[in-house]
Amino acid sequence: MSKRELENFKGCLLGGAIGDALGWPIEFLGIDEIKDKFGENGIEDLVLGAFGKAEITDDTQMTLFTAEGLLRNKVRENLEEESEADIDFTTIMHNAYLRWLSTQERLPKIKDKILHNSWLVQVWSLSKLRAPGSTCLSALREEEIGTIDQPINSSKGCGGVMRVAPVGLLYGMEEAFDIGCKCAALTHGHPSGYLSAGFFSALISQIVSGEDLKEAVLKCLSLLKKYPNSEECVEKIQLALELVDSNELSNEAIREIGEGWIAEEAISIAVYCALRFQNDYKKAIIAAVNHNGDSDSTGAITGNILGAYLGVFGIPNDYIENIELFEQISEMAEDLYIGYEESDKWRNKYPGK
């Protein structure tokens, strides 16, 4: 696979959005309810919403705001000597997530300049409530900013991991791991909550750099093992690897891993599905969403991984053509591919704050 191709950046973000949208209609259904509604194979096709497109959820919304925050930080890094603003990476990313929060509810205490100076905030459909995670909402309402050293809570829900794929598109493996952890720790204070995000970010980085998928998983797993309190994540990812090599049916294997509501289960289900069906995007996300758990998040993470691996041309056209916000997601992927541009237009689009 070619290294760092635009088609892989687009595949990552669009693939995640499609997995998110496929799982959204069944997020709160059990597998028996899913089969009763969609047939023995479960949901296989995108359900189109009121405007003729399959709806994305908070998973994709927050992924886009993660990307925006990262691109603003790139501007800050390039303007650091010129800037007098006392702002750091953590604050920039927190501001990005506050802008997402502002699309979900009114935030009268947040400065308008931080809140509204964003092209994403102007995208009307990003303001739709799509079952946003309670931990993300409650953490971002707090005055304190969560960090690894000063956690704001003890949550390890999957809301920290499902949004950090853009980190791996911008940074090398080790840096991506560190930054992914920092992004997740803003809202999820349990080590498994942010280490899963670090692993996921590093995995995306390895994939778009041209690494074989299984080798990428193994390298990132070795990196994960170096971090304190990583035992839960390591155990689940190792289980996923064992199940890929077993003769167990995919639905039974996913049941053994868990339901995906917590971070280490969500990333492990995605690793299992991506490796089990690594040359077939459709089979992978169908497996990733049809279970008793957090279908949209496991679908989104699986879609990010295989979309990055196979590229946008490895995703079925009927999925691509029917996904909400196709243009905006593609635009963000293109901007992540560029990374930074020395121009007033770029700085206006991504102010370094």
Residue ranges of the alpha helices (H) in 226-322?
231-244, 250-257, 263-276, 281-289, 295-310, 317-321
The answer to whether 45 is annotated as binding is: no
What tokens does 320 get? 């691509």
Give how far the C-alpha of residue 201 lies from the chain's centroid of Cα atoms, to the nearest Å: 9
The answer to whether 57 is annotated as binding is: yes
Q: The tokens 């390298």 sit on which residue?
A: 219
d(Cα 313, Cα 336) in Å, to the nearest integer? Answer: 18
Q: Which residues contact 125 (CB under 8 A, 6 or more apart)?
A: 324, 325
The answer to whether 178 is annotated as binding is: no
Report the b/e string of 315-343 with b at 16+ CB within 10 A.
Answer: beeebbebbbbbebbbebbebbbeebbee
Q: Which residues contact 149 (CB under 8 A, 6 or more apart)?
A: none
What single DSSP character describes residue 48?
B
The answer to whether 147 is annotated as binding is: no
- CA 76-79-85 angle, 5° bins: 65
Which residue ranges make up the annotated binding site? 57-59, 294, 296-297
Which residue ranges make up the annotated binding site for Mg(2+)? 57-59, 294, 296-297
